[in-house]
Amino acid sequence: LYQVAREKGMTPANIKKGYAATGIWPFTGLAAIPASMLNVPLESQDEVEERGREAHLSSELGEALDDLSGRQRSAKAKATLIAAARSAREASALNVLFEDLTERLRQHAAAMKAKPRAFRVIPDDFGKAKLYTSDEAIRVMEETIKARQAEEARKEQAAEEREQRREEKEREKEEAAKRRALEKKEREANKARALQQKEEQKKELAAARLKRKLELAEEKEAEKRRKIAEKQSKKTARSTSASSTNQQNTPALQPSQLVNQ
């Protein structure tokens, strides 16, 4: 079993990929030293001109002191000028070195202040071949298959649960929409009934007012007729009493008066 796995897995391409994953194969200078460390940052034109002026001044000063030393008569003055020229050149070189050291210290301080980058530790057995017996290989393959099947079952179950939750949410949305539609319809029906009741109340109130108005008019008319009847009855009574009084006061006529009449 291991022989078959070795023949299938230990191919030249897989071997190269395994060594290439370590980051040091194929072994070259760029693999050991990153290219970013070899690239010198470009200086601006002003910086280049400034360095050129400094170097030119330092070289001019040394040459001027050398020329001046050759014109001196005493050996002491000549030695002094030669030492001064050497000191000027050394000071210029030290200035360049100090500038480079200062720049390196600044970069180091900036790197210390920067947020640390995440890195991955390579295990000790990375890239090493593992030897299994037949039973161990079968057990490992069975465990791998079971783990893969369990992961697939978990993913399927999670997908089914998500689909079920989505369907439940859609069902709840539909029920909520139906409930809102029924509530709206009920509100509109209640509003229509309220308006109808209000109109009916208005009609009933108008009919009651009209009926009351007619009743008052009839009562007034009846009162008017009653008063007229009372007046007529009183007038009739007065006229009747007056005629009876006149009859009582008139003397009886004699037969001769009746004949004359």
SS3 44: coil
- The whole model's pTM is what? 0.28
Per the document, the length of the chain is: 261
Looking at residue 259, what is its pLDDT? 47
**Cα–Cα dist 7/47, whole Å:** 61
Contacts of 77 (CB under 8 A, 6+ apart): 69
Write down the pLDDT at residue 155.
Answer: 92
Tell which phi-psi region holds residue 121, choosing left (phi > 0), alpha (psi between -120 and 50) or beta. Answer: beta
The residue type at 224? K
Question: pLDDT (tens digit, 0 to 9) for every residue of the chain, 261 residues total?
Answer: 567 777 777 777 777 777 677 666 665 555 556 666 666 666 676 776 666 566 555 566 666 767 777 777 777 777 777 777 777 777 777 777 777 788 888 888 887 787 766 555 455 555 555 555 567 777 878 888 899 999 999 999 999 999 999 999 999 999 999 999 999 999 999 999 999 999 999 999 999 999 899 889 888 888 888 888 888 888 887 777 766 666 665 555 555 554 454
Q: Which residue has the tokens 């070195």?
A: 97
Q: What angle in degrees, to the nearest 10, is found between the helix axes of 134-249 and 2-9?
A: 80
Q: Are 55 and 93 in contact (CB under 8 A)?
A: no
What φ, ψ does residue 132 adopt, rounded to 5°?
Answer: -120, 150
